[in-house]
Structure 1
Amino acid sequence: MHRLPLTVSVLAVALALGGCGRKTSDANKELPPQTVTVVAAAQHDISGALTASGRLIPREEMAVAADLNGYRVARVTVEEGAYVRRGTVLAVLDDSLLRSQIDQVRATLSQQQVAAEQAAAQAIRVDGLDNQGVLSKEAIDNRRFAVRSSRAAAAATRAQLNDLLTRQNHLAIRAPADGVVLERTVRPGDTSSTGTAMFRMARDSEIELYAELPESDIARISVGDPAEVVLASGRRLTGQVRLIGMRVDSQTGLSIARITLPRDPELRQGGFAQARFTRTFSVLAVPEAAVHFDADGASVQVIDAKDKVSRLRVRTGRRAQGLVEIVSGLAAGQRVAVKGSAFVLNGDKVKVAK
Structure 2
Amino acid sequence: MVTVVDTVATAKPKLRHPEKAHRPDQDSGLRKPDWIRVRAPVSKGYRETNAIVQSHNLVTVCGEAGCPNIGECWDKKHASFMILGEICTRACAFCNVTTGRPGAIDPDEPKNVADAVAQMGLNHVVITSVDRDDLDDGGAQHFVDVIHAIRARSPGTTVEVLTPDFLRKDGALEMVVAARPDVFNHNLETVASNYLTVRPGARYFHSIRLLQRVKELDPTMFTKSGIMVGLGESRNEVLQLMDDLRTADVDFLTIGQYLQPTKKHHKVMAYVTPDEFASYEAAAYSKGFLMVSASPLTRSSHHAGEDFEKLRAARARKLAAAE
TM range, smaller chain: under 0.3
Structure having the higher helix fraction is 2
TM-score by length of 2: 0.18
| Bigger RCO (CA 8 Å, 6+ sep) | 1
Which structure is larger by alpha-carbon Rg, 1 or 2?
Answer: 1
